[in-house]
Amino acid sequence: MSGIFITGTDTGVGKTFVTLYLAEKFRRDGINVGVMKPISAGPDKDNDAVYLKKKLKLDDPIELINPIRLKHPLAPYPAAKIENRKLKIGKIIKAYKELSKRHQTVIVEGLGGVAVPITKTYCVADLIHDLNIPAIVVARAGLGTINHTLLTIGALIDCHVEVIGIILNGFTGKNVSEKTNAKVIEELSGIPVLEKLKWTT
């Protein structure tokens, strides 16, 4: 596939870690992979796009990897309002198409959850739909993840986004919820849990 969107049930579930993990895995399989962080919020020198570019030693310019950069660590809609900026979705789609010409697959890391507003009337789920790529949902492994994961999947389906899998992050296997969550989520959603990763944050 030309691209995959890594979204999450919330902020801090490990989307950047999973993006890096998958990019390295694809490379080991001989796939020319690029990454993208459509919108970053916060200091330029300390954002996820800069981290991914450095870790993967990518030649792509940061302007393609991260076409929209906002100064305040907020959701894009309020951050752009503070900066008096109008965010242009077309700029993201153009950058994605250019990266797709350079790589066999582009892994796109989202921001926050799928309902995070990019503009007043446009959220992350809308962006995934407009990029026309499937999504993988990163969710916490422990208690509470069934609710958050099913809500996220439902929101994506409502936006006509294909969800190809779920990755449970922060798995320890030490409590009963972690031992049962994957099976329940698969049973209720019909979507496979692809991996249970030990890293968390």
Is there a catalytic annotation at residue 120? no
Model pLDDT, residue 43: 79
Asked if pLDDT for residue 200 goes beyond 60, the answer is: no
111: Cβ–Cβ under 8 A, 6 or more apart, which residues? Answer: 11, 37, 38, 39, 40, 41, 75, 76, 124
Q: Which of 37, 54, 88, 196 is catalytic?
A: 37
20-48: per-residue pLDDT in tens? 999 999 999 999 999 999 999 987 777 89
* Two tokens, residue 131: 């990029």
> Has residue 176 got a pLDDT over 70?
yes
Asked whether residue 123 carries a pLDDT value surpassing 60, the answer given is yes
Question: How many angstroms from the chain centroid is the CA of residue 94?
Answer: 18
Amino acid letter at 44?
A: D
State how far the Cα of 5 lies from the Cα of 26, in Å rounded to an integer.
Answer: 15
Helix (H, G, I), strand (E, B) or coil at 39: strand
Rg (CA), the chain: 16
Using the predicted structure, report yes or no on whether residue 201 has a pLDDT greater than 70.
no
Between helices 145-158 and 176-189, what is the axis angle to 10°? 20
Summarize pLDDT for 134-171 with one digit per residue, the tens: 999 999 999 999 999 999 999 999 999 999 999 999 99
Instruction: Output the pLDDT for position 44.
Output: 74
* pLDDT at 104 exceeding the cut of 70: yes
Cα separation, 4 vs 175, whole angstroms:
31
pLDDT at res. 174: 87
Q: Which domains does the chain have, with CATH numbers?
A: 3-197 (3.40.50.300)
